[in-house]
Amino acid sequence: MGDKKLFIFDYSGTLSLESTLFGRPDYLTRELEESGLSNMGITSPAIFWEEIVNPTWYEGSTTAAGYKKIIEDRLRTLTRTDAMNAEEAKAAASSFVDSYLRHSRIDRSWGRVFRELALRPYIRVVIATDHYAEATSYILQFLRELNIQAMPATLAIAHRDSREVIVANSADLGFHKDKREFWEILRRGLQMNDVRNIVVVDDFGCNEEKGDSYSRPEKVKRRQRETVRMLQDVFAAKVEVVSFILKEKSEKATSDLVSDTWRTIDRYLATADDRV
């Protein structure tokens, strides 16, 4: 029998490009105004990143607290809020987070890729993301809209024989995906000790907005190297990387790149037995 294969897909910047566009200064400024956060003193993208996201990212992305509660609590810390303002802060946080997550849809062109992989009974597919707790249910809904069966990693661990796509969110697992513990939880919980071939589809941060230092080429390359090294270590497996790097952000460019990505994946499947 052949070796079991694991396919790992990044979320923001790979499956969902809209989520990265949401962070553009012009777009984010409008969202701050429309949600009401600007009325609470979060009047610019700089203030948003410095006072809301950066101080709370670790807690927000590794616990069940949720993005809405994180923003509410941070506003309470930054401003004096009476009962009326507390309700205003809650409504603004809710409006902003709902808009952000609605704008984080999976591009429809990925639907074919997941449906094709679902036909291979001996392949496990994981969507791995560092995200807030609310994102899990949104990602599952976006997959259902594409007729893709999926479940959160926490549920999949209790149903180890399920062949559905697994949504592994750092907020659910308690660790970021650049930490060994994230992958150890999945390997042990899903009994993936027999995985010997891994394919990672990821932009490694390259598709973030160019003004973001996270997308600098040297950081992207280092992130890729560290990811490969960690997966090799945890799974004792051969790791192949399919870099999902967009040269331009347009619907056609995305669709074309997804098609190219599928052809690369298909070649991996064609060159080796994909049974366990």
Fold of 4-17+106-270: Rossmann fold (3.40.50)
pTM above 0.85, yes or no: yes
- Give the residue among 23, 68, 74, 31 at the shortest CA–CA distance from 52: 74
Do the Cβ atoms of 246 and 208 come closer than 8 Å? Answer: no
For residue 31, which amino acid is it? E
Taking the C-alpha atoms of residue 13 and residue 224, their distance in angstroms, rounded to an integer, is 14
For residue 35, which amino acid is it? S
Average pLDDT over residues 95-111: 95
Taking the C-alpha atoms of residue 128 and residue 121, their distance in angstroms, rounded to an integer, is 20
Locate tokens 């049974």: which residue? Answer: 275
Please report how many Cα atoms fall inside a 13 Å half-sphere around the Cα of residue 101, on the Cβ side.
21
Contacts of 263 (CB under 8 A, 6+ apart): none
Do the Cβ atoms of 150 and 167 come closer than 8 Å? Answer: yes
Angle at 174 between CA 179 and CA 198, to 5 degrees: 45
How confident is the model at residue 124, as a pLDDT?
92
Span of 166-170, 208-212, 260-264 with lowest mean pLDDT: 208-212
Of the two residues 232 and 208, the one the predictor is more confident about is 232
Report the phi/psi class of residue 16: left, alpha or beta, with left for phi > 0 and alpha for psi in -120 to 50: beta
Do the Cβ atoms of 30 and 83 come closer than 8 Å? Answer: no
Span 157-187, pLDDT tens digits: 988 777 899 999 999 999 999 999 999 999 9
Angle between the N-to-C axes of helices 111-118 and 251-270, in degrees from 0 to 180, rounded to the nearest 10: 20
Span 43-88, pLDDT tens digits: 999 999 999 999 999 999 999 999 999 999 999 888 765 555 888 8
Per DSSP, what are the bridge partners of residue 167? 127, 152
Domain ranges of the chain: 4-17+106-270, 23-102
Question: Residues of 133-151 as b/e, b for ≥16 C-beta within 10 angstroms?
Answer: bbbbebbbebbeebebebb
